Structures are given as C-alpha cells and as structure tokens.
Amino acid sequence: MQKDDKIYIAGHRGMVGGALKRCLEKLEYTNLLTRTSKELDLRSQAAVMEFFEQEKPAYVFLAAAKVGGIMANNTYRAEFLYDNLMIETNIIHAAYINGVKKLMFLGSSCIYPKLAPQPLKEEYLLSGFLEATNEPYAIAKITGIKLCEAYRDQYGCNFISAMPTNLYGIGDNYHPQNSHVLPALIRKFHEAKENDEAFVTVWGSGTPMREFLYADDLAEACIFLMKNYSEKQFVNIGTGEDLTIKDLAEMVRSTVGFEGEIVFDASKPDGTPRKLMDVSKLNTLGWKYHTTLKEGIKLAYEDFLSKQSVENMAN
C-alpha cells in the first residue's frame, strides 16, 4: 500500500472510519477517498457499483455499518440485519468487479457464540448459538467474513477480515438509548454530576466481563494488517485484557468526577457473560495495543465534553 494509492474508507464519519482516516493521514497517505451517506447510499447496489467504476480505489477499508448497543440491536433487528447485509455485499462485490487490490472487512466480537470458551479464538466461529439480543447484527457480520472467504476461494481476491473487540474513543455515539456501554456510562455519569444527582443506575448485575480497545489503536492494527497480512482466516483485534462492568463503571465515575453511588439494575439484561479476545495471533504477527483503558477513557471524555460545548453553542 503506497502513500499515493487510492484508498477508500467506507464509513469515514463513524468512530472506526474516522480513526482510520486520522491514522492514514498521520502516516502521510495522500489519496484518501470518502463519501458521506447522503452522497452515497451504500445499501444501493447500483450506486455503489457506479462509485467503484468511476473512482477505481486500489484499497478498501470496509468500516461502514449500522451499529448500536443492546437496546438498539434488540429493537431494530430487521434494520441491523438488512442494512449491514446490503452495505457489505454491495462493497465486496463491487471491489471484486472493479479489481480492488486488497479489501479489509471489519466485523465485531459479537460474531462468537454466547457461551464460547474464553478467551475467544478465531476458530470458535460458528461453534454454537449466538447471543439472542444482537443475533441479527452478528449474522450480518459473519456473512461479511464468509463473503470475503468465498470471493478469495472462487476469484482469488485478496480480501481479509478483522474482528475488533468492544471499541470506544473519539467520535463515539453517546445517544441515551442507542449507544454502547462505555459511552453510555460517560454520558450518564456526566449528566448525574451536572445535575448533582445522588446515584447513577447501570443496566445489569455489573458482573459481565468486557474488553475495550481505543479506536485509534484499532486503526493502527488495521493498517498494520493491510500491509502485513493476506491470509483467509480473520484476525481478532483487542487488548487481551478485560474487566467487570462494575469496575468499568467505577473507572468512568472516577474519570468524570461523579461522587454519588452506583446502583445496578439486575432486572435489565447482562448480555454475554464474558467476551475476551484471544489476540495471540495478532501479537505473533507483531502488533500490540498501547493506549491503556484509563488513558483512553480520559481521551473519550474530553471528546464528549467538546461535543457538549458545540451542542450548547448551537442551542
């Protein structure tokens, strides 16, 4: 991947795509191709094909997706399945038709069975039942992996896949209902602090274990794999370290400076009991994360505060 090669980042306005764009610019890649969803509807096969025919990108990072937390996944089940299937199918097929040199598809750790052994090894894919709340999203992401494998098998395409763990960072979604656990906690603790509330309620029992990776670290790993990996099997990307939701909540509370109590609502779903990635394959290839969770939460909170000030100015 040369500095002047045309590189298409699908989903550049999302947290992952934004991190990829920042990282590529920092590394002085000069020919980055982007389109907003208003400019290009990735669910439209005709529009995607026309775009690829006109632009002829050499490399593609497929980071575009419809994403959300437990509530969003469980509420918008049809959209999460349909939209994600259409986006990945259209891009992967257009990349093949238009001779893209290499494509990276980004999935999610929710592709693994709910009760898979821990830590999650790449070979555990399709070895058991999925977590029910995010099954449509997981099935869409598994399909993306299998599409890349199939296009590689049948047409010789150099299409690879990477499975990130739970992500957070600059450009995250802090929506009260549709966000993931870490940004949701940042918002909850911040608002509780602003409103001088006595406690914050956190969904679930607080016992599930989760792993978190800073989005800019993910971007570095993706570029590393794009340059150094061309095998059929997908690669896990994560830290290889996890903590309980209770400990995460404590860490966010400390970062935000909220002094009230934390109350866990055990009537709400916990999701998968544990999701820890086995990242030995990635580490063996030569890449390891470097942003600690404490450091990353501080950076994410600063990003949240900057968004709040922009919103306040707009109002």
Residue positions annotated with a catalytic role: 137
Q: Is residue 208 part of an annotated ligand binding site? A: no
Q: Is residue 14 part of an annotated ligand binding site? A: yes
d(CA 165, CA 154): 29
N- to C-terminal Cα separation, the chain: 44
Pick left, alpha or beta for residue 206 (phi over 0 → left; psi -120 to 50 → alpha; otherwise beta). Answer: left
Q: Is residue 255 part of an annotated ligand binding site? A: no
Q: Is residue 167 part of an annotated ligand binding site? A: yes
Q: What angle do CA 94, 10, 283 make, to 5 degrees?
A: 105
Q: Is residue 203 part of an annotated ligand binding site? A: yes
- Cα separations in angstroms, 282 against 37, 162, 224, 231, 236: 32, 10, 10, 12, 7
Q: Is residue 16 part of an annotated ligand binding site? A: yes
Q: Is residue 270 part of an annotated ligand binding site? A: yes
d(CA 28, CA 182): 31
Q: Is residue 290 part of an annotated ligand binding site? A: no
3-state secondary structure of 256: helix
Q: Is residue 93 part of an annotated ligand binding site? A: no
Q: Is residue 309 part of an annotated ligand binding site? A: no
d(CA 250, CA 265): 16
Binding-site members are 11-17, 106-109, 141, 164-167, 180, 188, 203, 210, 270
Query: Residue ranges for the binding site for NADP(+)?
Result: 11-17, 106-109, 141, 164-167, 180
- Residues at the annotated binding site for substrate? 188, 203, 210, 270
